[in-house]
Amino acid sequence: MTDTRVKVIGAGLAGCEAAWQLVKRGVPVDLYEMKPRRMSPAHHSAGFAELVCSNSLRSDRLSNAVGLLKEEMRRMGSIIMTAAEKAKVPAGGALAVDRHIFSGFITDTLKSHPLVTLHEEEVTGIPEAPAIIATGPLTSEALSEAIAGMEEISTLNFYDAAAPIVTADSLDMNKVFRASRYGRGDDYLNCPMSREEYDAFVLALQSAECAPVHGFEEKKVFDGCMPVESMAKRGHMVLAFGPLKPVGLPDPRTGKEPYAVVQLRQDDAAATLYNLVGFQTRLKFPEQKRVFGMIPGLENAEFARYGVMHRNTFLNSPGVLNEHYMMIKRPGLYFAGQMTGVEGYVESAASGMVAGIDMACRCRGEESIDFTRSTALGSLGYYVSSPNGSFQPMNVTFGIIRTPSGRFHSKQQKYEMMADGALEIIDQISGYVPETTETDTDNKDSSEE
């Protein structure tokens, strides 16, 4: 244990992971969280690590980059991955969780840890080092202004959106069928659409009334969270080739693929709530009920939560942060989470992990750990810190992970070799001894993330 105390600002995914990595290594943490004293419009719970948008942590397969990232984090002792396993709900090849169980485990674990001191208060200025700022896309206005006022930083804003959630018992199961894409089980509810139903739905989306968002600009919406009505306005068939694609989802009543399919994913452990996959939206609430009620099976759906749109702030990180998310000109001051330019729940937690580990090394007088560009964990840090004239938020992809030399018979073989190499590096760093498991070679595309 060290005498140095580290301030971690924000108890979201990145802040919680950073705090956990610090206390695991004997470094005391002062954890600052403005909830429940102050809640943002998008927050619904007082707990830590609240999943504001989807409840999915996306693919769990090693043939997918985010699946590799999650496995690396598991082997590095991630509290986020431990919580996800405890809160897991059926989602085909994806890892989805019960939000309340997930948040509750993380909250209880950190609050009860002897090296964590919780401060339920808003931080409005830049903290003195050593500190990690992990306040996420919903950073308060006062702290956002303080960050923007730093000489080294210029901030950019765009908007993020959350999908609506409906109650299971309000669905018409005579029209809905259970199935996961490509026959991978039956974890999803599927609402099949005929061509006529799809055409009418798209036309309704294109003309539906949206809620005003101050300062909103269409170009500032990250494509990964594009509102469903914005996609519809890009072209009549955009949804049919995107979140409503029917590929791999034959209706068991007809044996044929519908013209389009709306998928619903389980949102809680009791299977009483389902969210509309890919249906982030900024439609007014009455419009959501009217337009989404056109989806077969959702005619009388009860909305446990309507979709909302909220501000998302991120840094122009290249030249400001290094590969460990520490400010280059302010040693000992780190940023973590989506505000660094990583995009997604898992990526946010991963940045918190790297920042927390590096901070712990710094406090203990140890050398920094280079995760290298050959791992998913390392590649994200190098992405946000490398020169980039048009820097934008990035999900983890194999495209930013260093490719091993040699020739490959297929993309699948290349990804498997990259995953194997990355996990060898992680095992050397962590001392993890993996169990013998079969390699997942399923490479079919799926909107089930």
pLDDT at 158: 61
Over the Cα atoms of the chain, what is R_g? 22
pTM of the full structure: 0.73
Q: Between the CA of residue 335 and those of 227, 302, 324, what are the distances in Å?
A: 28, 40, 9
Count how many Cα atoms sit within 13 Å of the Cα of residue 392 in the half-sphere of its side chain: 10
Higher-confidence position of 400 and 108: 108
The DSSP letter of residue 49 is S
Q: If you average pLDDT over every residue of the chain, what do you get? A: 88
N- to C-terminal Cα separation, the chain? 40
pLDDT at 42: 56
Q: Between the CA of residue 336 and those of 71, 149, 304, 378, 393, what are the distances in Å?
A: 20, 18, 31, 14, 13
Query: Which tens digits make up the pLDDT trace of 23-43?
Result: 999 999 999 999 877 766 555
pLDDT at 216: 45
The C-alpha angle 343, 344, 345, rounded to 5 degrees, equals 140
Does 156 have pLDDT greater than 60?
no
Structure tokens at 386: 């490398």
Structure tokens at 21: 């990595």
Query: Which tens digits make up the pLDDT trace of 271-288?
Result: 888 999 999 898 999 999
Higher-confidence position of 437 and 105: 105
Higher-confidence position of 445 and 148: 148
Which residues, 6 or more positions from 10, have their beta carbon under 8 angstroms from its beta carbon? Answer: 32, 33, 133, 134, 135, 136, 139, 337
All structural domains of the chain: 6-157+312-430 (3.50.50.60), 164-306 (2.40.30)
pLDDT at 213: 61
Q: Give exposure, 228-244, as e/b (b: 16+ Cβ within 10 Å).
A: bbbbbeeeeebbbebbb
Q: For 241-268, what is the mean pLDDT?
A: 94
Query: Which tens digits make up the pLDDT trace of 201-211?
Result: 999 999 999 88
Does 195 have pLDDT greater than 90?
yes
Does 89 have pLDDT greater than 50?
yes
pLDDT at 217: 46
pLDDT at 412: 87
Kindly write down the DSSP assignment for every residue of 351-389, as one continuous string: HHHHHHHHHHHHHTT-PPP---TTSHHHHHHHHHHS--T
Q: Which stretches does DSSP call E strand in 81-239? A: 88-89, 94-97, 116-119, 131-133, 155-162, 165-167, 177-178, 188-193
What is the rounded (10 degree) CA torsion for 58, 59, 63, 64? -10
Alpha-carbon gap, residue 276 to 278, rounded angstroms: 6
Query: Which tens digits make up the pLDDT trace of 121-145?
Result: 999 999 999 999 999 877 888 898 8
pLDDT at 446: 41
Alpha-carbon gap, residue 84 to 256, rounded angstroms: 35
Higher-confidence position of 9 and 387: 9
Alpha-carbon gap, residue 189 to 177, rounded angstroms: 6
pLDDT at 407: 83
